[in-house]
Each structure stands twice: as C-alpha cells, then as structure tokens.
Amino acid sequence: MARSKKRGHKNNGRARHDDMPEPSVRSPLNMFFGGHRYAPIPETDNQPEMAPAASGIRNEYFSSSPPRLEENNILIDIDPPPQRTLTALSDANTMYNSDVETASQNDSIEGDVCFPTPSKREDEAGIDYEALEQYVLEEQQEQLKFSEQEPQNVRRRRRLSNVAVPDSRRFSFYGDRMKHPGLNDSDMYRITYYSPAEASTIHARTISEIPSKNQRLSDMLKKGCFWIDVLNPTDAEMRALGKIFRIHPLTCEDIIMEEQREKCEVFLSYYFICFRSFEPDQYSASYLQPLGLYILVLKEGILTFHFRPMPHPQNVRKRIKQLKDYINVTPDWVCYGLLDDITDSFAPLIRAIEFEVDSIDELVLILKESEQSDMLRRIGYCRKRMMGLLRLLVSKADVVKTLVKRGEARPMNGTRPALSNEVALYLGDVQDHIITMLQSLNHYEKISSRSHSNYLAQISIEMTQTNNEINDILSKLTALGSVLIPMNLVTGLWGMNVQVPGQYQEDLTWFSAIMASILTFCIASTMMMRYYNIV
C-alpha cells in the first residue's frame, strides 16, 4: 500500500482526535455548518445573562409567524430590527431545543407532581392574593422593561404592541410538538375576565392587563363571583395560577398535557372537570376533532382553560347577561352553563345525521343501478361522523353523574363549593340530554349498519342477476352449437375427396335426401329443446 509521504504526519494521513476543534459554549454543535450563526443550546436555566454581543444573533430564524397589522395601520421600519431580551431569545431557542430545556426544567424537584405540597390550614384555604399581586407586578415590570428597550421609531400602539409573552408549551401526551404556535400571538386577547360586579367583560392579553390603572386584581376578585377564561395557557401562567389559586400539581399537569379523558375530580378547595367539545368549522381540516375544556370550580369563582378557540364561553356569557336579572350567578351555575352549551352543540349534528340516515334507508333499495354510484360513499361518511360523535359523547353522562353525586355532598370545612339543588336539577337535565343523544346515535348506527348490509345485498343480487343472464345466453349458444354439429358432420363427410354414395348419379336424389334429413334433424332438435325449455 502506498504510504503518506508528507513529513510531520506520524499517523499516516489519519486525523487524530486531538486535532479536532472542541466546540465552545457559544459555537454551533454541528461542525458542518460553521459558516452560519445558530443560537446555542442553553445548558441550564441558571445560565448567566448573555453579553450584548451575543444578543445580536439572527433571531429572525426563530420567528414562528410574521407580525400582524390591522387594516389601515401601516408600519414602515427602515432601521435594523431591535435586539430581543434574554427572555425572548430563550423562548425562541425553546422552539427548537425544547427537549434540552424541558430536561433542565424537570431537574428541579419542586416541579415534580409527587413533591409534597405544604399542608393547608383552614385560614390558608382560598386564593393567595399576595401571590396574585406579586405575579401581576412582575408581569408589569417585564412589559415595562421591554417597552423601554424598544426603539422609539419602531414602538407601536397598544393594539399592535409586541409584548414579550412566554411561548406556549411545546409538547403534550396527545399531540405533536409545537401544537398551536400561532395561537399565542401577543396581539391576541387570550384572557377574558367576567364578573357580575363589573359593567362589561374584560379582554386582555395577559393577566396583568385585566385591572385598570387605578385598580388591583385582588380587589376585583373580592367583589364577588368571577370567571377567568384563558386561551392557550403557557407553562409560566399555569405555574403562577396554580400557586395563586392553590391548584394541585396533578390538575396543572392534566391541563398542560391536555388530558383527553373526560372526568370529574374533587379536591380540597375546588372541582376539576375535563369536558370535550369539537371543532365546529366545517371548512377546517380538523372538523369534528375533539377540543378539551378544563373547568376549575372554586368557592370564589371559576377558571376555564382551553387550547383552541371555541364559542362556548361567549355563548354562556351572553346567556348570563340575558338572565342576569332572574338568576344568581354562581360558579356552579357557570359550570352548568358551559356543560349545557357544549351538550347542546351536538344537537344540530345529530339532527342532520337523522335526516341522512332516513334518506339512505329509503333510497338504498329504490334507486336504480345507475343512481347508486355514490351510495357507498354516503353511508361510509355518515357512519364515520356517527362514530366520531359517539366517541365524544360516550363518557359525558358519567362525568355529569359524578359531578352531581359528589357535588351534593356538603364539605365539612366549607372550602369546597357545594352544588345548589337548582343547579343539580339542571345538571340532571343535561345528563338526560346526553343519554338521549347517545340512544339516538346508537339507533342511527343500527339503521345505517342495516342500510349498509342492504346495499351490499342489493349489489350481490344485481350481480347474480347479471350472471344468470349471461348463463342463459351461453346455454342458448350451446344448444345452437349442438344442432349445428351434426349438420356440419354430414356436410363434411359428403364434401370429402373420397368415394361417397350417389357420387356418379346425375340426378338430385341424394342431394335432396341429404338436405331433407338435415332440415328434419334441425326441426326435431328445436322442438325437443322447446319442450324441455332449453331455449
């Protein structure tokens, strides 16, 4: 073999491991793309603050969506893009390095759901208003810090402000990574606050924006029953709300991981209900896909969480405004309104399925063969929708039943809300509606299954009829061939170039006799086949 003739290379042309450059903390891990400036993977959460030079990394690589502008609002930016804060940069890195960051976050023992929570005395039960005001103050300081660092020439109005809101969670047990990255846009009013004591419903982008300039959020919650609805909550928001409202870590984990199993759980100071709705947009690719709504019924108010927009909270608020003068708005009544609105949203779909099933059942045996080309497709699509609705409704009756049963039990310490008799009666009506819908869907499923079997039987009968017609034609052709074979035999024998009877006779006696015999045989064979119904 040829050896390397270069001097100074004792390894025969083979590179040593000591010659490889070791990547630094700020250098990209992939050595093949050294020409690009990629953000490094953070090692720990307690990493020292980044130097100003490191903050110039091209963060546009990590932008999930372009900034949105309202109509008639034009923003021209001729200056270089502003530098992001450490929080925004770490959130951008989280989009691609969620595994490393999640592992580092989980290293804290306090983040484990099995970590024992401090014992709660009776005087400690309820809402931690001090933690609430502290969280609101921290959010306001973070927003103020970002607004001060933003250049004046690119500073926007409040509606178009780009406040550094923590990104949504990146994973769940039941979906793909970066589940809904576009829903956590900072221009989106994700948090809704409603209270009968307030003049109107308050929509905000963060929890700190709920109170006005001269108000405190704790004072607003103390006025009476409140309802806070959070769309696409972040991990930081769930940790803060769990501390403020004393939510159990298992409940926070179910919400963050988007628990799909519908259930009702009773804790020391609240009820936790998982209830599923569906995507109502018919033109959406996720039409009829399940959407989870997570309800926490406290003694002072109610909290709701969901990760996709849904019309049910707005419908319940509209219903409360209409009945505000006739009912006493309580947390358990708001919970009933949500469950009732979700249940009623299934009624139009079930009604449409009823019409479709009746139409299929009537037409499956009436339509002609040329008109049955799309019948199988209609049956399959109808049964698919029925199975999807059955999957969404099958566990709802047990959830409502459990809620009524556990809600009627009065708590001893008075920290957990108890269902009133009126709300328990209304929940029984919701349970009746769910059971009726389940029975209707099961009945329609049986009808569609029978229609499917009838359709397949109809196709089988038509194929059998076609085969019988073909067999009849073939039998007639066979009978005709059996008649022609003897005639061909006679004519073939007399047409051979050999000695045959009557060959040297000049008259037509033999010819006439042969033709008469052939004709007689043909008539006799036809009459015999007619007699035996062969032809």
Residue type at 73 in one-letter notation: N
CA distance 132 to 401: 34
Nearest residue to 384 (alpha-carbon basis) of 514, 287, 497? 287
Question: Is residue 381 assigned to a domain?
Answer: no
Residues 140 and 108 in one domain: no
Decide if 388 is inside a domain: no
Residue 348 — very low, low, confident or very high, per pLDDT cuts 50/70/90? very high
Query: Which residue would you say has higher pLDDT here, 508 or 110?
Result: 508
From the number of C-beta atoms within 10 Å of its C-beta (0-12, 13-18, 19+), residue 73 rates as: exposed
Rounded (to 5) percent helix, strand, coil in the chain = 50, 10, 45
Residue 253 and residue 274 in contact, taking contact as beta carbons nearer than 8 Å? no
- What confidence tier does 455 reach under pLDDT thresholds 50, 70, 90? confident
Residue range 468-486: mean pLDDT, rounded: 88
Q: HSE-up of 14 (CA within 13 Å, CB side)?
A: 6
Q: Among the three residues 322, 352, 380, which one is the final residue of a domain in this structure?
A: 322
Residue 65 lies in a domain: no
Both 105 and 154 in a single domain?
no
What CA–CA distance (Å, rounded) separates 226 from 196? Answer: 7
pLDDT greater than 70 at residue 20? no
CATH at residue 168? 3.30.460.20
Residue 159 and residue 195 in one domain:
yes
Q: How many Å apart are CA 475 and CA 178, to the nearest integer? A: 69
Q: Any bridge partners for residue 230, and if so which?
A: 191, 305
> Given this model, what pLDDT does residue 128 score?
87
Tell me whether residue 166 is exposed, middle or buried, using C-beta atoms within 10 angstroms of its C-beta: 0 to 12, 13 to 18, 19 or more. middle
pTM comes to: 0.66
Name the average pLDDT for the chain.
75
What's the pLDDT at 230?
A: 95
Label residue 511 by pLDDT band (50, 70, 90).
confident
Distance CA 450, CA 455 (A): 8
pLDDT value of position 350: 95
In a domain, 402, yes or no: no
Task: Look at residue 100 and tell me whether its pLDDT is greater than 50.
Answer: no
The Cα–Cα gap between 94 and 483 comes to 89
Same domain? 98 vs 168: no
Is there a single domain that holds both residue 142 and residue 178? yes
Q: What is the pLDDT of residues 113-167, one digit of tens each?
A: 566 555 444 445 578 888 999 988 888 888 787 766 655 544 333 332 333 333 4
pLDDT at residue 514 greater than cutoff 60: yes
Report how far residue 84's alpha carbon sits from residue 94's, in angstroms, rounded to the nearest whole number.
Answer: 14
Structure tokens at 85: 């804060």
User: Tokens representing 138?
Assistant: 């921290």
Residue 143 in domain: yes
> In Å, what is the CA distance from 492 to each residue of 18, 487, 488, 495, 525?
101, 8, 6, 5, 20
C-alpha 32/C-alpha 411 separation (Å) is 64
Query: Do 108 and 130 belong together in one domain?
Result: no
Query: Concatenated DSSP letters for 475-507?
Result: HHHHHHHHHHHHHHHHHHHHTSSS--TTTT--S
Longest dimension (CA), the chain: 139
If asked whether residues 30 and 142 sit together in one domain, one would say no
Model confidence at 91, pLDDT cuts 50, 70, 90, reads very low
Binned at pLDDT 50, 70 and 90, residue 334 comes out as very high
Is the predicted pLDDT of residue 112 greater than 80, yes or no? no
How many structural domains are present in the chain?
3
| Higher per-residue pLDDT: 374 or 226 | 226
More confident position, 446 or 89: 446
More confident residue, 368 or 93: 368
103 and 177, same structural domain?
no
Instruction: Output the pLDDT for position 368.
Output: 72
Domain that holds residue 496: 474-531
- Domain-embedded: residue 391: no
The pLDDT tens digits for 235-293 are 999 999 999 999 999 999 999 999 889 999 988 888 999 999 999 888 888 888 999 99
pLDDT band at 46 (very low <50, low <70, confident <90, very high): very low
Token readout for 271 is: 């009820």
Same domain, 180 and 303: yes
Residue 493 falls inside a structural domain: yes
